[in-house]
Amino acid sequence: MATLMNDIKKILITKDALAARIAALGKQITRDYQGKEVVLVGILKGAMPFLCDLMRHIDLPLVIDTMVLSSYGDCTTSSGKVCIKKDLDKDIKDKHVIVVEDIIDTGITMDFLCPLLKSRGALSVELAICLNKKERREKDVFVKYIGFDIPDEFIVGYGCDYAEYYRNFPAVAVLKSEVYNKE
Ligand code: IMP
Ligand code: MG
């Protein structure tokens, strides 16, 4: 039977390690935001598994919202390199926003998003990012909640895709080179 595992060269972060770290992040957020009005903003599609796991470890009344961003030139109203394909449903004025994202690489996406959310009247905007490729950073973005630092390798799984596939792989992994060469 064909399995996703057949395409994987190595597992970087196991399911169990993800679960343990995310539980700890949820506890930390619960402590840090006592008495505050929190909105978790998940960046689709990559943040889906991280958002679902993290929110269930945050023991606070909170609102979940989502955005879809694109760094490619397929939006007509693109300003710079990032554009909004789906905006928030709710107002964030006077709320404490935590942006939940799968991975930060150059930092260009978050460097675009954070000032934008602040300009809408959020009381605070912090980042919760599962995977941090810090060697690749081009923009100086402060990430308050980091799951794991990872090396500069293209990864898939736990929300991260290659050509839209592998988001459902439950661990963080590196693909075999044959997978890219199939194209
Ligand atoms: P940044 O604007 O360069 O920080 O890009 C962040 C986005 O690039 C992430 O939300 C991912 O969608 C994508 N990305 C960066 N590195 C990887 C990777 O190794 N695998 C899959 N997607 C990645
Ligand atoms: Mg993404």
111 counts as catalytic: no
* pLDDT at residue 79, as a whole number: 44
Mean pLDDT of all residues in 115-136: 97
What separation in Å is there between the alpha carbon of 1 and the centre of ligand 1? 30
Pocket test for ligand 1, best of 160, 166, 174 (most atoms within 8 A of CB): 160
DSSP-assigned letters across all residues of the chain: ---GGGGEEEEEE-HHHHHHHHHHHHHHHHHHTTT--EEEEEEETTTHHHHHHHHTT--S-EEEEEEEEE-SS--TT-BTTBEEEE--SS--TT-EEEEEEEEESSSHHHHHHHHHHHHTT-SEEEEEEEEE-GGG--S----SEEEEE--SS-EEBTTB-BTTBSTT-SSEEEE-HHHHHT-
Catalytic pick among 105, 140, 152, 161: 105
Q: Per residue in 5-28, pLDDT tens?
A: 999 999 999 999 999 999 999 999
What separation in Å is there between the alpha carbon of 69 and the centre of ligand 2? 8
Atom of ligand 1 lying closest to residue 109 CA: 2
* pLDDT at residue 81, as a whole number: 75
Mean pLDDT of all residues in 112-125: 98
